[in-house]
Amino acid sequence: MLAFNNVSFGYDEKSKILDNLSFSVQPGEFISIVGVSGSGKSTIFRLVTGLDRPLTGDITLEGNKNGDRLGKVAYMPQQDLLLPWRTILENAYLPLEINGVDKQIAYQQIRPLLKEFGLEGTEDKYPSELSGGMKQRVAFLRAVLSGNPLLLLDEPFSALDAITKLSMQEWLLVQWKKRQSTILFITHDVEEALFLSDRIFLLKNKPVTDVEEIFVPLQGKRTRNDLNRPEMLALKDRLLSTLQSEVAL
Ligand SMILES: Nc1ncnc2c1ncn2[C@@H]1O[C@H](COP(=O)(O)OP(=O)(O)OP(=O)(O)O)[C@@H](O)[C@H]1O
């Protein structure tokens, strides 16, 4: 689905952020990207979207090398970036509007999805009238409506309270399975990464030369209790101690 092949990148010539980095993502995978603050997680997303380009190396998306990927991936940043002057229905319509879909046809498509996304009754409300979790669901709905199979989610739940965050994680797993999308998910929360992912990419070194790939040994329906299994606790310890040693670098 997506591959980084020996990618190097820096915002200026002297200080590289990524150095000869390679990894690949298979269709339908849920991958979390974990790394210390400033390590380059959001930079990887900017490279995937094509907002920034590698200095050397190449990035392939569905077999296309270094093509124009803007518009081929759905990017959901940390802040929900809903347009405050548009209603929820109008916000959800945005990606379809950009693709030239007629408003009435689009609204017919969006209305049943609002219900499915737990947003029934909000269509004529404005973003400021919604809770944080609801706004994130609108942003996610908008990403899904873009029709792109690769979703880039940059710490989508970091601003939510603990209980809302847990229910949003469970909701996201249901949506991911249902839609069979491929998800790259940036998080600082090791438990969140373990609960959600097939694999975790742990960014190593400064500049990042490597990702440590951690396979999460949970398949099918997972529950919170699975995080208490001995092998999951051992993985959590390993992730936390590697992150601590990276901070010390
Ligand atoms: N537009 C930019 N111009 C110059 N330097 C930048 C720019 N954007 C990011 N950087 C620098 O690149 C490095 C990587 O930033 P990036 O945002 O990718 O890190 P991150 O791992 O996502 O961090 P965080 O977890 O804090 O969000 C940081 O040192 C940052 O200061």
pLDDT range class, residue 81, cuts 50, 70, 90: confident
In angstroms, how far apart are the furthest CA atoms of the chain? 55
Q: Which of 27-31, 70-74, 95-99, 207-211 has the lowest mean pLDDT?
A: 70-74
pLDDT more than 70, % of the chain:
97
Residue whose CA lies nearest to ligand 1 atom number 28: 38
Q: Give CA separation, 168 vs 11, 122, 134, in Å.
A: 34, 18, 9
CA 10 to centroid of ligand 1, rounded, Å: 10
* Nearest one of 171, 178, 161 to 195, comparing CA atoms: 171
Minimal-distance CA residue to ligand 1 atom 25: 37
| pLDDT averaged over every residue in the chain | 88
Of 178, 177, 197, 175, give the one whose Cα is nearest residue 186.
Answer: 197
pLDDT for 249 beyond 70: no
Mutate to test the pocket of ligand 1, among 42, 190, 211 (most ligand atoms within 8 A of CB): 42
- Quick one: pLDDT at residue 248? 63
Ligand 1 atom closest to Cα of 43? 18
Q: How far is the CA of 42 from the centre of ligand 1 (A)?
A: 7
| Percent of the chain whose pLDDT exceeds 90 | 51
Query: What is d(CA 28, CA 219) in angstroms, rounded to the nearest whole number?
Result: 13
- CATH for 2-72+149-247 (3.40.50.300, 3.30.70.20, 3.50.50.60, 3.40.50.1100): 3.40.50.300
* Residue closest by Cα to atom 26 of ligand 1: 37
Task: Tell me the domain boundaries of the chain.
Answer: 2-72+149-247, 83-147
Q: In angstroms, how far is CA 62 from the centroid of its own chain?
A: 18
| pLDDT score of 66 | 64
Find where tokens 């049943």 sit. Answer: 112
Give the pLDDT of residue 182: 93
Element (H, E) at 169: helix 162-179
CA of 33 to the centre of ligand 1 (A): 14
Q: Residue 23, SS3? A: strand
One-letter amino acid at 74 equals A
Look at 80 and 27; give whichever has higher pLDDT. Answer: 27
Per-residue pLDDT of 58-69, as tens digits, reads 999 988 876 677
Q: Are 158 and 78 in contact (CB under 8 A)?
A: yes
According to the model, what pLDDT value does residue 184 have?
96
19 vs 81 pLDDT, higher one: 19
Token pair of 51, please?
Answer: 């907002």
CA dist 110 and 41 (Å) reads: 32
pLDDT at position 40: 92
Does position 147 have pLDDT exceeding 90, yes or no? no
CA dihedral 46, 38, 152, 97 (to 10 degrees): -60
Contact 131, 165 (CB under 8 A): no
Task: Give the confidence band of 161 by pLDDT, cuts at 50, 70, 90.
Answer: confident
Cα 81 to averaged position of ligand 1 atoms, centre (Å): 19
Q: Which residue has the higher pLDDT, 9 or 131?
A: 9
User: SS3 helix, strand, coil % of the chain, rounded to 5?
Assistant: 40, 20, 40
Sheet bearing 64-65, strands edge to edge: 18-25, 2-9, 56-61, 64-65
Q: How big is the CA angle at 199 (ends 196 and 205), to the nearest 5 degrees?
A: 115
* Residue 107: half-sphere exposure toward Cβ, Cα within 13 Å: 9
Residues having CB within 6 Å of any atom of ligand 1: 11, 17, 35, 37-43
* pLDDT class of 243 with cuts at 50, 70, 90: confident
pLDDT tens for 172-223 read 888 888 888 899 999 999 999 999 999 999 998 888 998 999 999 987 778 8
Tokens standing for 230?
């001995």
